[in-house]
Amino acid sequence: MTSLPLSTPTGLQPPAIRGCYLLCLDQPYFHARHYVGYSDNIAQRLQTHRKGQGSPLLAAALAAGIDWHLVQVWPDADRSFERKLHHRHGSRLCPESRCRSVQQARRQQLRLPLAVA
Ligand SMILES: [Zn+2]
């Protein structure tokens, strides 16, 4: 396994394109640690989220002092893809090592097979 350089704490630069995106919260907000969204313009959408609009979860997290950042983008993905993403656990989609280690610990607890479709 190759060790990748650590990602910047600010996450990915939001692209001004249409697609789905995954936001990772710096700390869990109750049970939530991730947010999946769809937009015609991801960069613009994230600016809206920054103002506390567009998502009650992200607004509440910001109000609680919990920041979030972009960790994954699926260019050109549509709303049906977004729905599929919503059915998956965010930590399984998130490339952040701290989220992956949570996922690995959970998998060991549940004794699930390592290969997940
Ligand atoms: Zn994450």
- Is 1 within a domain? no
Confidence of residue 90 (pLDDT cuts 50, 70, 90): confident
What spacing in Å lies between the alpha carbon of 94 and ligand 1's midpoint? 5
Whole-structure pTM value: 0.79
Domain carrying residue 106: 19-110
- Is 50 within a domain? yes
What spacing in Å lies between the alpha carbon of 59 and ligand 1's midpoint? 18
What spacing in Å lies between the alpha carbon of 40 and ligand 1's midpoint? 23
Strands (E), 3-117: 19-29, 32-39, 68-75
- Is 31 within a domain? yes
Q: Is the pLDDT of residue 5 over 80?
A: no
What spacing in Å lies between the alpha carbon of 34 and ligand 1's midpoint? 6
- Is 55 within a domain? yes
- Is 48 within a domain? yes
| Tally of structural domains, the chain | 1
- Is 10 within a domain? no
- Is 5 within a domain? no
What spacing in Å lies between the alpha carbon of 62 and ligand 1's midpoint? 16
- Is 4 within a domain? no
Please state, in angstroms and rounded to a whole number, the distance separating the CA atoms of residues 28 and 66: 8
The mean per-residue pLDDT over the stretch 81-91 comes to: 87
